[in-house]
């Protein structure tokens, strides 16, 4: 029960961050959103909101990297790409384009300390390092998949960066447009780029 409460709070925080951003996601809102006891905050997250945000972002990253790695390793990089894009399309459509990527939200928002109501550079660095590590993990999965299929290391690294940057940016565009057309366009172009790279290498 205890572990379920903590897991629910982490997942709930990730969901709220994906919709509202970091600073608009308060501990009180997480408790309300997940229906968990208020006393659970200090019990499960003794370092407060920053710890909850760290765990929520790590959770969000793993929700992508797990399936992405599995598909890329077992069915190839093209299927991995399609799964990566399909996951974000599902998230966008399920939430009526209200939710995006919580990792991206952390990367573009300046963290404000709730207690002081002021920017917190030390905590910001922690969150940026965490977001950077998750983006790097997604890139590494695509990079490894491309190299397994014969793409040179330098090209594989660049293509992996292109894939992650393109999809993350397109998710934000789709939220603004409130439709998934841009994601479909990017998927088609990236598939052609990968197909050409795999033929040439």
In a domain, 77, yes or no: yes
Q: Which residue has the higher pLDDT, 40 or 120?
A: 120
Query: What residue has token string 């922690």?
Result: 126
CATH for 164: 1.10.357.10
76: left (phi over 0), alpha (psi -120 to 50) or beta: left
* Distinct helix (H) and strand (E) counts, the chain: 9, 2
Distance of CA 130 to the CA centre of its chain: 11
According to DSSP, residue 178 is labeled T
- Average pLDDT value for residue range 69-95: 94
Residue 183 belongs to domain spanning: 60-200
Cα distance between residue 133 and residue 138, in whole Å: 9
Q: What is the pTM of this model?
A: 0.92
Q: Is residue 34 domain-resident?
A: no
Residue 46 falls within a domain, yes or no?
no
Type and span of the H or E element at 114: none
Does a structural domain hold residue 20?
no
pLDDT tens for 165-180 read 999 999 999 999 999 9
Query: Between the CA of residue 37 and those of 45, 56, 71, 81, what are the distances in Å?
Result: 13, 18, 38, 40
122 pLDDT more than 80: yes
Q: Is a pLDDT exceeding 60 seen at residue 201?
A: no
pLDDT bin (cut points 50, 70, 90) of residue 105 is: very high
> pLDDT tier at 2 (50, 70, 90 boundaries)?
low
- The answer on pLDDT for 187 being more than 50 is yes
| pLDDT confidence bin for 39, thresholds 50/70/90 | confident
Mean pLDDT confidence for 78-104: 95
Q: How far is CA 51 from CA 8, 13, 48, 136, in A?
A: 15, 11, 6, 21
Distance CA 83, CA 170 (A): 15
CA within 13 Å, CB half, 192:
5
In a domain, 53, yes or no: no
In the chain, the number of structural domains is 1
Q: What is the predicted pLDDT for the residue at 117?
A: 81
At 160 the pLDDT is 98
| 101 pLDDT higher than 50 | yes
């Amino acid at each position: 029960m205890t572990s379920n409460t903590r897991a629910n709070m982490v997942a709930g925080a990730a969901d709220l961050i994906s919709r509202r951003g970091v600073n608009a996601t308060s501990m009180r809102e997480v408790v309300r959103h997940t229906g968990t006891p208020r006393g659970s905050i200090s019990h499960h997250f003794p370092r407060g909101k920053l710890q909850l945000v760290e765990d929520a972002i790590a959770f969000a990253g793993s929700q992508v990297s797990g399936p992405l790695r599995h598909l890329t390793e077992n069915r190839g990089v093209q299927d991995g790409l399609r799964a990566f894009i399909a996951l974000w399309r599902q998230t966008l459509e399920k939430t009526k384009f209200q939710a995006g990527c919580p990792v991206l939200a952390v990367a573009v928002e300046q963290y404000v300390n709730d207690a002081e109501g002021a920017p917190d550079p030390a905590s910001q660095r922690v969150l940026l390092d965490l977001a950077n590590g998750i983006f790097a993990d997604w890139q590494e999965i695509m990079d490894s998949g491309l190299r397994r299929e014969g793409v040179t290391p330098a090209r594989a690294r660049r293509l992996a960066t292109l894939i992650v940057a393109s999809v993350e940016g397109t998710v934000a565009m789709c939220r603004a447009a409130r439709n998934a057309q841009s994601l479909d366009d990017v998927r088609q172009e990236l598939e052609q780029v990968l197909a050409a790279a795999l033929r040439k290498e």
